[in-house]
């Protein structure tokens, strides 16, 4: 059975709440069946709005959303069969865990013994068997979160939406819940649309990530692509750490360009520049710039160490390089790198391929 590549489809969706500002602009997004897709973006970028439109609590101002090829604009939320996990869990406080899970089955008039089986299965999936008779108020945050996940899955929806489901949990719990959700997704193969503003969470969990900013999808690709090959400076800045140089193209060929910056000239990889004279921001990941590299690198410069921050497994070094005093290096803590001392001048090199010349900020 071939998977439907356009199981959920946003087609030219616009959304405005007040008739003045578009919070979602011309959104086109295809989500294939069984995929784990994450909407990642800063707060206020319109992620929740997209989710709400898909769930049916908001209507698109224009455009259409398709679920399994059927337009769903005119289908009320309760008929869409989409499971949802809310940020604040939204468990029904006056019902036990069992009743919470039974709710979607009861409204579907499922016989009790069949429902009980499903509830058992869902609870054991989130390892909460035996908690049936607890009230949500008697559960810890993590347990409530699991109940919310179980409740969103118990009626076998084809799509599950999760809006910052781990936002209220502490760091350790959040990490273990990430794996748990990921495993549940893998074992039952449901399509998940996940919203978060935490890039680490997005990178570890997703098949694909849609980076949102300002109501627009900036880049839609797999986690590694997103990190290695950001297509614009917003994505480069938002995902992971990033050293930037603002400059102007002085020479350009197919796969290389020269960029004139305040402190000199560097060779970079022209990603979103085309012509000589274009303004650009060059982005280099900290781990791609190396100290005293003996391999042939086409960028080699000297910089002065301004600050050293010890991180255990690695050391973070802030340099003044080519007029940029915020240039960060990540240096593994090995005996080779003992000459890193405050005030020392060291040689830094990187491949022009790793210096991505993107749009100007």
Partner 1 sequence: MSSETQKILTTDGIPLEESLKKAEKKNKIKAFLLVCPLLLFLIITYVFPIGDMLFRSVDDRMVTNMLPKTYKAMENWDGKELPEEEVFASFYQDYKLLIEQKTFGKLATQLNYEKNGFKSILKKLQRKMKKFEDGNYKEQIMDVHKRWANVEYWRAIKRRAPEISYAKYLKGMDLIADEDGKIIQVSEERRIHRILWLRTLEVAFFVTLFCFVMAYPIAHLLATLPMKYSNLLMICVLLPFWTSLLVRTASWMILLQQQGVVNDFFVWIGLVTDDNRPEMMYNKTGTYVAMTQILLPFMVLPLYSVMKTISPSLMRAGKSLGGTPFVAFWKVYFPLTIPGIGAGCLLVFILAIGYYITPALVGGASGTLISNQIAFHMKSTLDWSFASAMGLMLLVGVLAIYWVYNKLVGVDNIKLG
> What phi-psi label fits residue 293: left (phi over 0), alpha (psi between -120 and 50 degrees) or beta?
beta
Q: Which of 45, 196, 218, 269 binds ligand ADP (CB under 6 A)?
A: 45
- By the rule CB under 8 A, 141 interacts with partner 1: no
Q: How far is the CB of 355 from Mg ion (least distance, A)?
A: 34
Region binding partner 1 by CB under 8 A among candidate stretches 76-84, 176-184, 218-226, 274-282: 76-84
Distances in Å between the Cα of 304 and the Cα atoms of 141, 222, 266, 309, 323 are: 48, 36, 18, 15, 10
Site residues for ligand ADP, window 3-32 (CB under 6 A)? 17, 23
Helix (H) or strand (E) holding 133: none
Q: Report, in this order, helix, strand and coil percent for the chain, each rounded to 5.
A: 25, 35, 35
Q: How far is the CB of 157 from ligand ADP (least distance, A)?
A: 21
SS3 315: strand
- By the rule CB under 8 A, 197 interacts with partner 1: no
Region binding ligand ADP by CB under 6 A among candidate stretches 42-50, 68-76, 100-108, 242-250: 42-50
93: partner contacted, choices ligand ADP, Mg ion, partner 1, none (Cβ within 5-8 A by kind): partner 1
- By the rule CB under 8 A, 136 interacts with partner 1: no
How many amino acids of this chain bind partner 1 (CB under 8 A)? 27
Beta bridge partners of 348: 291, 301
- By the rule CB under 5 A, 196 interacts with Mg ion: no
Q: Which of 27, 33, 36, 47 binds ligand ADP (CB under 6 A)?
A: 47
Q: 112-125 vs 171-188: helix axis angle to the nearest 10?
A: 130
Q: How far is the CB of 161 from ligand ADP (least distance, A)?
A: 12
Q: How far is the CB of 57 from ligand ADP (least distance, A)?
A: 9
Q: Which of 8, 13, 36, 49 binds ligand ADP (CB under 6 A)?
A: 49
> Which structure tokens are listed for 264?
């000199």
- By the rule CB under 8 A, 83 interacts with partner 1: yes
- By the rule CB under 8 A, 77 interacts with partner 1: yes
For partner 1, give the closer residue by CB, 194 or 350.
194
Per-residue x/- mask for Mg ion, residues 45 to 64, rule CB under 5 A?
A: ---x----------------
- By the rule CB under 6 A, 48 interacts with ligand ADP: yes
- By the rule CB under 6 A, 360 interacts with ligand ADP: no
Unique residue bearing structure tokens 């011309």: 26
Region binding partner 1 by CB under 8 A among candidate stretches 83-91, 225-233, 316-324, 349-357: 83-91
β-strands 264-270, 356-358 pairing: parallel
Q: How far is the CB of 41 from ligand ADP (least distance, A)?
A: 6
β-strands 243-252, 8-16 pairing: unpaired
Rg of the chain's alpha carbons, rounded to an integer?
A: 25
- By the rule CB under 6 A, 41 interacts with ligand ADP: yes
CB 160 within 8 A of CB 142: no
- By the rule CB under 6 A, 38 interacts with ligand ADP: no
78: partner contacted, choices Mg ion, ligand ADP, partner 1, none (Cβ within 5-8 A by kind): partner 1
Helix (DSSP H) and strand (DSSP E) numbers for the chain? 8, 20
Name residues whose C-beta falls within 8 Å of residue 155's C-beta, 6 or more positions apart in sequence: 81, 83, 104, 105, 108, 118
SS3 assignment for 59-127: CCCEEEEEECCEECCCCCHHHCCEEEEECCECCCCCCCHHHHHHHHHHCCCCCHHHHHHHHHHHHHHCC
Contact set with ligand ADP (CB under 6 A)? 17, 23, 41, 43-49
Q: Where do contacts with partner 1 occur on this chain (CB under 8 A)? A: 55-57, 76-84, 86-88, 90-94, 103-104, 107-108, 151-152, 155
Interface contacts to Mg ion, rule CB under 5 A? 48
């Amino acid at each position: 059975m071939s998977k439907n590549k356009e199981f959920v489809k946003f087609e030219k969706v616009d959304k405005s709440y007040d008739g003045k500002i578009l919070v979602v602009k011309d959104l086109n997004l295809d989500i294939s069946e069984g995929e784990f897709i994450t909407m990642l973006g800063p707060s206020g970028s319109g992620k929740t709005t997209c989710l709400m439109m898909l769930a049916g609590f908001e209507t698109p101002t224009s455009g259409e959303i398709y679920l399994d090829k059927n337009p769903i604009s005119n289908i009320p939320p309760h008929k869409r069969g989409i499971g949802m996990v809310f940020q604040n869990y939204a468990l029904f406080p006056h019902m036990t865990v069992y009743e919470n899970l039974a709710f979607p089955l009861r409204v579907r008039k499922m016989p009790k013994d069949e429902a009980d089986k499903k509830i058992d299965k869902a609870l054991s999936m989130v390892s909460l068997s035996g908690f049936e008779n607890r009230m949500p108020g008697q559960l810890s945050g993590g347990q409530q979160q699991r109940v919310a996940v179980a409740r969103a899955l118990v009626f076998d929806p084809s799509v599950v939406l999760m809006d910052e489901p781990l936002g209220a949990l502490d760091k350790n719990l959040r990490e273990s819940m990430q794996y748990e959700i990921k495993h549940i997704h893998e074992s039952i193969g449901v399509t998940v649309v996940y919203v978060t503003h935490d890039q680490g969470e997005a990178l570890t969990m997703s098949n694909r990530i849609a980076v949102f900013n300002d109501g627009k999808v900036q880049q839609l690709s797999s986690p590694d692509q997103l990190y290695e090959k950001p297509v614009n400076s917003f994505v480069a800045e938002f995902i992971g750490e990033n050293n930037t140089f603002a400059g102007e193209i002085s020479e350009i060929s197919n796969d290389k360009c020269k960029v004139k910056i305040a402190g000199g000239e560097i060779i970079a990889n022209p990603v979103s520049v085309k012509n000589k004279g274009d303004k650009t921001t060059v982005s280099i990941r900290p781990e791609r710039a190396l100290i005293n590299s003996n391999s042939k690198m086409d960028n080699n410069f000297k910089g002065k160490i301004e600050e050293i921050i010890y991180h255990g497994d690695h050391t973070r070094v802030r340099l003044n390089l080519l007029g940029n005093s915020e240039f960060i290096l990540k240096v593994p803590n090995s005996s080779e790198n003992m000459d890193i001392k405050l005030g020392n001048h060291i040689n830094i090199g990187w491949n022009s391929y790793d210096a991505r010349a993107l749009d100007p900020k």
